[in-house]
Amino acid sequence: MEQILFQVIMDTLTQGQIETLLKESESKKLCSDFGFFSQPYRLEYEGREFIVKQYLPVKDTATVSGIIENHNEYVSVLKSLGINIPDTRIISRKIRNREQLVIIQEPFKDQCLLRNIILSASIEEIHEICILLFNDILSFWKRKESMVDIGFHPTIRNYALYNSQLYFFDTFPPMLKKQKEVNRLIITMSPFGKWIKKILPAKMMNIVSDEFYQLDRMFTGIIGSCCRLRPSYASRILDLSKEYIMNCAHLTPTEKEDITRKLKTPPHLPWIWIMVRKLSKNTGAPNIDHFFYRQKK
C-alpha cells in the first residue's frame, strides 16, 4: 500500500511542485559518495522523503528530450525482464540557459543499500546476496530479445535490498541503445567528459561499458566487488560463485567456461574505472593484489 501511495504522489507532482522541492536546498542531505554523473541526495517535501539526482546541464534540448524518452522506455523494458525498480521519474528544467535532467526516486534507507549490507555480512549472507544478483543478471540476459540493443549494469552499488527483494535504482544513463551510443552518452553527460575525451580514444570506453553488455563481465563485476569489499572472504566468495555458475541450469557450457576462467583470482577493477574514480573523487575499495592473494592461498 505504501509503495502504491508513493507512486500516486510521484505521478501527480507538477513541474511547479518539483521546482519547489528542488529549491529546498537547505534540507539537502547527500546520501551517497558513489555517483559519477550525479551524487544523489535526500530531500523532504510536504512530510515525505525523496531521492533526487541532478545531472550536468547541456545546451542541446534534442539530446535531453531523447534521453528522457529512452530512459522511460528503458525502465519499462527492465521491469518487463523481471528487474525491480523503485518508482522513478525523470524531467528536465531550465537552468542558466541550459537543460538539466533531474531524476526523482522512491527512497531506501541507508541500511537497505546493498553495499552497506555486504560490509557487515557473514560469508553465508554474502553468498545469498550474490545468488540474488546472479539471478537478476540471468533474468535480464535470458529474457531480453536478441535483436534489441540494451545494456544493464548490475553492480552492488546500484542496488538496495528491501523485504528480501533486490531493487535496481541506477537507471542513468539509460541503455536501450547500442554500446557505442552509450559510450558517447557517458562522455556527453559526464562532468569530466572533456578530460575523458582528451585522455581516452572512443573505442577504449568499451573497457568501461563491456560490463553493461557482456554476460561474463556482469558476473565478474559483482564477484570482484564482493572480494574487494570483504577481502578476507575473497577465496570463499570465488569458490561459492564458481560452484553456483557450474551448477546453473540457465548457463550454457561455453558461458560457464567464459565466466569461471576469469575467477582464478579476484577480478580486478579496470584501470579506467580507477582513473574515473579519482577524477570524480569517488570512494571505493582497492583491487586485491593477485601475487599476495596466491601467496596467502
212-255: pLDDT as tens digits? 999 999 999 999 999 999 999 999 999 999 999 999 999 999 99
124-145: pLDDT as tens digits? 999 999 999 999 999 999 999 8
Q: Is 16 exposed, middle or buried (0-12, 13-18, 19+ CB in 10 A)?
A: exposed
71-89: pLDDT as tens digits? 999 999 999 999 999 999 9
User: What nine digits make up the cell of 69?
Assistant: 524518452
User: What nine digits make up the cell of 112?
Assistant: 537497505
Contact 161, 131 (CB under 8 A): no
CA neighbor of 97 nearest in space, from 60, 54, 65: 60
Confidence category of residue 280, pLDDT binned at 50, 70, 90: low
- CATH number of the 2-105 domain: 3.30.200
pTM summary value: 0.86
Confidence category of residue 273, pLDDT binned at 50, 70, 90: low
Distance CA 143, CA 146 (A): 9
Domain residue spans of the chain: 2-105, 111-296
Q: What percent of the chain has pLDDT over 90?
A: 59
Specify the pLDDT at position 291.
46
Confidence category of residue 279, pLDDT binned at 50, 70, 90: low
